[in-house]
A and B are shown apart, each in its own frame.
Chain A
Amino acid sequence: MNKPIIEARNVSFQYEGAQSPAVNDVSLSVAQGEFVAVLGRNGSGKSTFAKLLNALQLPTSGELIVNGIKAVTEDDCYEVRKSCGMVFQNPDNQIVTTIVEEDCAFGLENLGTPPEEIRRRVDEALESVGMSDYALASPSMLSGGQKQRIAVAGVLAMRPKIIVFDESTAMLDPIGRRDVFGIARRLNLEERITVVWITHFMEEAALADRVVVMDGGKIALEGTPREVFSRTEQVLELGLDVPEMMKLSRQLRDKGLSLPEGLMTVEEMAVELCRLK
């Protein structure tokens, strides 16, 4: 296990005027280069947790250290945001400028990077998300998936150590969803960028290194996707679903087929079914 890049100790956060804390006594450590999926029904506190990671909100109690920095002052927040990028849910509401490449440059411009360096990094980032051909296009002409890829490029250009995706695929069509998830997975594997992937889609969570399920602001379940989804009853009770293949294998087992536990993907299922013959 690598050293932790995100270290949360008993972190709580309560919105002003709220009855109960949105994030309640959460302790979690994420290792450098890990791909962690965070699941939870609406209002479970997962998006608030994301905002804490990016120092958009500061914990009301507890200690949160991101990339070695505990955000207290405004300058700390700025440092945290440099190393921890964030891709939001609505692709329309996070693109700032009218030209794709200018939007990618926005973060670097804010950091005061020299122009030639910005140019180089923007080209690199657009290349990395496969949007180089659209560098001079207007974002309003792009599809949702393409806009999200631009948003990823904008974050990527800042060379963060961590990228938090806050339900970034929720508003996309299946192709856009696959593209954006694919990019996140590849960045994680090839560039060793730590990814915190907040989602409603079990199929995406199934491909993560680790799954954290939140409920009522607390961590309800935690473990590898296999461990978490094997506890089907508990997962369903938390208002979530399990991946389709898990349901199918369960039903097939009930009918008397001898399938192993913890089948999650179509490929695994196909292999096991062929073995039965």
Chain B
Amino acid sequence: MLKNITLGQYFPGDSLIHRLDPRTKLLATIALIAIVFVSKGFCGFLLIAAFILACAASTGIHLKFLIKGLKPIFFIIVFTFVLNLFFQTGGEELVHIWIIRITDEGLRMASFMAVRLILLVVSSQLLTLTTSPISLTDGLETLFRPLQVIHFPAHEIAMMMSIALRFIPTLMDEADKIMKAQKARGANFETGSVVARAKAMVPLLVPLFVGAFRRAEELALAMDARCYRGGAGRTRMKQLKYQTIDLLAALAIAALLAAVILLNRFGPF
């Protein structure tokens, strides 16, 4: 059962966006986030939302996956909304009950902030849904490579990330096995107070950690045996290459930015 967990939330596919270079997607996502901040009105937001939805539709990813990603920050969105609603006091008064005053300016600000948050999350969702963790890692490594001049360990970080990804299912399996072994000897993981359950995890975590260290040592030896000497002088089988679609994506993002700036100035709302 543990073998079937998905890593991250990658949604395999073969759409244009899936096929974009991971670097393009990373940079485009950063640009998209910046554009969300550039936008000063709902008009701009509407356009950005339309852009994101069009992208999502082209990937064949169901809308519910995008919405699912909002769940963890639902509380933050509501909190931001309420806070802005009650504490923005400028503008015309709409409701006044006891000490609570809601103004039209407050309502506008609150919705503006909430929509901004939603757009930020959804645009980064689009990246993680369409890019496998391993190509994300590759993309990050290549993007950060220039920083190696100032001794930023780009290769090491990417290697650590990919090894972590590689060992998640293995360690999950091991945790499952240890749990079964402990259960067979009468351990109880399911019932009791929170403290009792937390304590019950100790005999699970200790062997898991010991096992992980042993694995790490063996893996290091195996990497040595295959001539691993760090990032210097290393080549890659799969070279990342920018293609025409990457250029198109860049143009689309640039067009979106231009449109949002124009809407800021001339938009009706």
Taking CB atoms and an 8 Å cut-off, the chain B residues in 138-192 that contact chain A are: 162-163, 165-166, 169-170, 173
For residue B265, CB closer than 8 A to chain A, the reply is: no
Contact among A88, A95, A109 with B237 in the assembled complex (CB-CB below 8 Å): A109
For residue B227, CB closer than 8 A to chain A, the reply is: yes
Alpha-carbon distance between A81 and B228 when the two chains are bound, in angstroms: 10
Q: By the criterion CB–CB under 8 Å, are B235 and A115 in contact?
A: yes
Q: By the criterion CB–CB under 8 Å, are A88 and B222 in contact?
A: yes
For residue A48, CB closer than 8 A to chain B, the reply is: no
For residue A213, CB closer than 8 A to chain B, the reply is: no
Contacts A56-B225, A86-B225: A96 and B237 contacting too (C-beta < 8 A)?
Answer: no
Q: By the criterion CB–CB under 8 Å, are B3 and A118 in contact?
A: no
**Closest CB of chain B to A83's CB: distance in Å?**
10
Alpha-carbon distance between A158 and B226 when the two chains are bound, in angstroms: 9
- Mark B218-230 against chain A: 1 for CB-CB distance below 8 A, else 0: 1101111111110
Q: By the criterion CB–CB under 8 Å, are A99 and B227 in contact?
A: no
By a CB distance below 8 angstroms, the chain A residues around B162 are: 96-98
For residue A25, CB closer than 8 A to chain B, the reply is: no
Contact among A96, A139, A154 with B163 in the assembled complex (CB-CB below 8 Å): A96
For residue A71, CB closer than 8 A to chain B, the reply is: no
- Mark A102-145 against chain B: 1 for CB-CB distance below 8 A, else 0: 10011111111111001100100000000000000011110000
Contact among A93, A138, A154 with B226 in the assembled complex (CB-CB below 8 Å): A154
Chain B interface secondary structure, helix, strand, loop or mixed? Answer: helix
Residue of chain B at shortest CB distance from A88 = B222
Alpha-carbon distance between A141 and B170 when the two chains are bound, in angstroms: 10
Tell me how many residues of B have a C-beta within 8 Å of chain A.
29
- Mark B112-143 against chain A: 1 for CB-CB distance below 8 A, else 0: 00000000000000000000011000000000
Contact among B3, B165, B222, B229 with A93 in the assembled complex (CB-CB below 8 Å): B222
Contacts A112-B235, A115-B236: A81 and B227 contacting too (C-beta < 8 A)?
Answer: yes
Q: By the criterion CB–CB under 8 Å, are A158 and B227 in contact?
A: yes
Alpha-carbon distance between A111 and B222 when the two chains are bound, in angstroms: 15
Contacts A109-B235, A139-B166: A94 and B222 contacting too (C-beta < 8 A)?
Answer: yes
For residue B72, CB closer than 8 A to chain A, the reply is: no
Residue of chain A at shortest CB distance from B163 = A96
Contact among A51, A114, A141 with B235 in the assembled complex (CB-CB below 8 Å): A114
For residue B239, CB closer than 8 A to chain A, the reply is: yes
For residue A78, CB closer than 8 A to chain B, the reply is: yes
Alpha-carbon distance between A93 and B223 when the two chains are bound, in angstroms: 10
Residue of chain A at shortest CB distance from B225 = A86
- Mark A74-104 against chain B: 1 for CB-CB distance below 8 A, else 0: 0000100110011010101111111101100
For residue A32, CB closer than 8 A to chain B, the reply is: no
Q: By the criterion CB–CB under 8 Å, are A94 and B227 in contact?
A: no
Most chain A CB inside 10 Å of its own CB: which residue of B3, B166, B226, B236:
B226
Residue positions of B touching A, CB distance < 8 A:
3, 133-134, 162-163, 165-166, 169-170, 173, 215, 218-219, 221-229, 233-239
Residue positions of A touching B, CB distance < 8 A:
51, 54, 56, 78, 81-82, 85-86, 88, 90, 92-99, 101-102, 105-115, 118-119, 122, 138-141, 154-155, 158
For this complex, 24 residue pairs linking A to B, each with C-beta atoms less than 8 Å apart, are A78-B229, A81-B224, A81-B225, A85-B226, A86-B222, A90-B218, A92-B215, A93-B218, A93-B219, A94-B218, A96-B163, A96-B219, A96-B223, A101-B237, A102-B134, A102-B237, A105-B236, A106-B223, A107-B227, A108-B237, A109-B234, A111-B227, A115-B237, A140-B173
